[in-house]
Amino acid sequence: MHQLINGSAFSRICLIAILGGFAIFGFAIGVLMSPPTEIIGMDRLSELTCLQMAGTPDRAVAVLLGFDEAQLAALQQLLVPGDVIFAWGYGLVFFGVLGLLTARLSGRWQRVGAVIMWAPLVASLFDVFEDIGLHRMVTTVAEGGTGILPVVVLLTTISASLKYLFLAVVAPAYGVAGAVKAFKTDRRLRSIGLYVFVVLVAYSMMQKPFSEIPACF
């Protein structure tokens, strides 16, 4: 892994991941998620965070009963395939950014980075598990039922929690700390641009969970 990270091919892999991630972002948001979002309303998307963190069937049903039939159908489309595809967009972008940062570090910082740079993709995987669980819950209520299986809600909340742990805590913590560390030894203009990009991406990943989750409790 050390030889791979320090090779010229690794930087190209990271750049391809970043560009591919942004392409997936554009497709997911513009094509898959925009139509259902118009039906649901942007102001109501934060309620999905509360659904993610519901933990119990009663709380999940309480959230979903606030949506009408058309909005429930739109939520199904928003989650699958919309958010399933979207998840790999942010995962690839953050992976690529952390990879480029790790390549500019050395010693223990690089060894740690070689592991943590995969955290965004692990978060994407848990996001997919979460979306499957959310889709099952929405489908149950959309079909007129309220008997959501407790195990579905619990596994969904666990998946969401692990997603946010990797995406909004572990990866940003290393990204910001690594950018500060790298800045001390590499102050080339393009490197500074990378550090700024790392911090901006880290902040964008932290903003949603830290602002929306507390409001659910």
Q: Which residues, at least 6 apart from 89, have a Cβ–Cβ distance to it below 8 Å?
A: 21, 22, 23, 24, 25, 28
Range of the domain at 74: 2-216
- The number of folded domains in the chain is 1
The pLDDT value given to residue 61:
96
One DSSP character per residue, 149-215 reads -HHHHHHHHHHHHHHHHIIIIIHHHHHHHHHHHHHTT---HHHHHHHHHHHHHHHHHHHHHHHHSGG
The pLDDT value given to residue 145:
86
pLDDT for residue 105 is more than 80? yes
pLDDT for residue 1 is more than 90? no
pLDDT for residue 50 is more than 90? yes
pLDDT for residue 111 is more than 70? yes
The pLDDT value given to residue 120:
98
Measured over the CA atoms of residue 122, residue 83, residue 77 and residue 22, the dihedral's sign is negative
Contact 68, 124 (CB under 8 A): no
The pLDDT value given to residue 6:
74
**How does pLDDT run across 123-166, given as a tens digit for each residue?**
999 999 999 999 999 999 999 988 999 999 999 999 999 999 99
**How does pLDDT run across 155-209, given as a tens digit for each residue?**
999 999 999 999 999 999 999 999 999 999 999 999 999 999 999 999 999 999 9
Q: Which of 15, 130, 29, 16 is nearest to 86 (CA)?
A: 29
What's the average model confidence in pLDDT over 108-132? Answer: 97
What single-letter DSSP state applies at residue 7?
S
pLDDT for residue 4 is more than 90? no
| Overall pTM > 0.85 | yes
Measured distance CA(194)–CA(103) in Å, rounded: 12
Measured distance CA(212)–CA(134) in Å, rounded: 17
Contact 121, 95 (CB under 8 A): yes
Q: Which residues, at least 6 apart from 197, have a Cβ–Cβ distance to it below 8 Å?
A: 97
